[in-house]
Amino acid sequence: MADTPIIQIEEMHKWYGDFHVLKDINLTVNKGERIVICGPSGSGKSTLIRCINRLEEHQRGKIIVDGIELTNDLKNIEKIRTEVGMVFQHFNLFPHLTILDNLTLGPIWVRKTPKKEAEEIAMYYLEKVRIAEQALKFPGQLSGGQQQRVAIARSLCMKPNAMLFDEPTSALDPEMVKEVLDVMISLAQDGMTMIVVSHEMGFAKSVAHRVLFMDGGEILEQNEPNEFFNNPQHERTQLFLSQILD
């Protein structure tokens, strides 16, 4: 793996009011690297990845994405957001637009791609997530698993350099989890840089280069997946793993 960092986080802290959510976060993600973040609920996983595309603001330390440091500069923020795709737990598709319009919106309005070309790109990625035949339906007419695949395709249409996933399968009925994970695995095979908040251990084992464990706003432990699952160092990691594995 070429060691070109795409995301660098240095000594980053974040507070909600007085509440210290993220404490001294240091994380470098290289191009093509795939990271899975796990940890108990409320440990700050969502907040961490939301800081990376400035859905949340950090108060101390540095976040550098694709060579651009995140500051209050709106232009930089918008630029970084076009380079980093985000997939949410609850899909957040735009319910008033068709699937196709959901996908072409970003390319047309942000990238200024001509409509026809944007539609070709959209259809390409809809094929890729195996849902092209639904292009003219509205999100409300699709199942949860289908909606999440559309949401992934929507991000891909922006041709991002990295993708963030915030518990992409945890709002899904069990039988739909696999179809979404399959799409994510194929994305990984294409070499996409990914940061995934997830408790899907099978996915982490087969795809991740590194697994991070967060608790109480800190990254307590990180390791390559086999080591991480078979030989967790930290007591709280062991406890957490024992809880989710049975």
Dist CA 129 CA 180 (whole Å): 9
Please tell me whether residue 140 binds another protein under the rule CB under 8 A.
Answer: yes
Dist CA 83 CA 90 (whole Å): 21
Contact present, 52 and 61 (Cβ < 8 Å): no
Contact present, 216 and 236 (Cβ < 8 Å): no
Q: Angle at Cα 167 formed by Cα 92 and Cα 2, nearest 5°?
A: 105
| Positions 152 through 181 that interact with ligand ADP (CB under 6 A) | none
**Binding segment toward another protein, per CB under 8 A, in 5-13, 15-23, 139-147, 203-211:** 139-147
Please tell me whether residue 32 binds another protein under the rule CB under 8 A.
Answer: no
Please tell me whether residue 43 binds Mg ion under the rule CB under 5 A.
Answer: no
> At its nearest, how many Å lie between another protein and the CB of residue 42?
18
Contact present, 88 and 42 (Cβ < 8 Å): no
Q: In the complex with ligand ADP, which residue's Cβ is closer, 5 or 216?
A: 216
Q: In the complex with Mg ion, which residue's Cβ is closer, 60 or 90?
A: 90
Q: In the complex with ligand ADP, which residue's Cβ is closer, 8 or 47?
A: 47
Please tell me whether residue 7 binds ligand ADP under the rule CB under 6 A.
Answer: no
How many residues in the chain? 246
Half-sphere exposure of residue 19: CA atoms within 13 angstroms, side-chain side: 8
**Residue partners of 146: CB distance under 8 A and separation at least 6:** 131, 134, 179
The option from another protein, ligand ADP, Mg ion, none interacting with 110 (CB < 5 to 8 A, set by class) reads another protein
Please tell me whether residue 95 binds another protein under the rule CB under 8 A.
Answer: yes
Please tell me whether residue 53 binds another protein under the rule CB under 8 A.
Answer: yes
The option from Mg ion, another protein, ligand ADP, none interacting with 43 (CB < 5 to 8 A, set by class) reads ligand ADP
Please tell me whether residue 46 binds Mg ion under the rule CB under 5 A.
Answer: yes
**Residue partners of 121: CB distance under 8 A and separation at least 6:** 103, 104, 107, 113, 157
Widest CA span in the chain: 55
Please tell me whether residue 45 binds ligand ADP under the rule CB under 6 A.
Answer: yes
Please tell me whether residue 193 binds Mg ion under the rule CB under 5 A.
Answer: no
Tokens of 73: 């500069």
The residue whose two tokens read 């960092």 is: 5
How far lies 108's CA from each of 31, 131, 135, in Å?
26, 21, 17
Which of 4, 26, 28, 42: binder of ligand ADP (CB under 6 A)? Answer: 42
- Interface residues with Mg ion (CB under 5 A) are 46
- Interface residues with another protein (CB under 8 A) are 53, 55, 74, 78-79, 81-82, 84-86, 88, 90, 92-96, 105-106, 109-110, 138-141, 151, 154-155, 158
- Interface residues with ligand ADP (CB under 6 A) are 16, 19, 21, 41-47
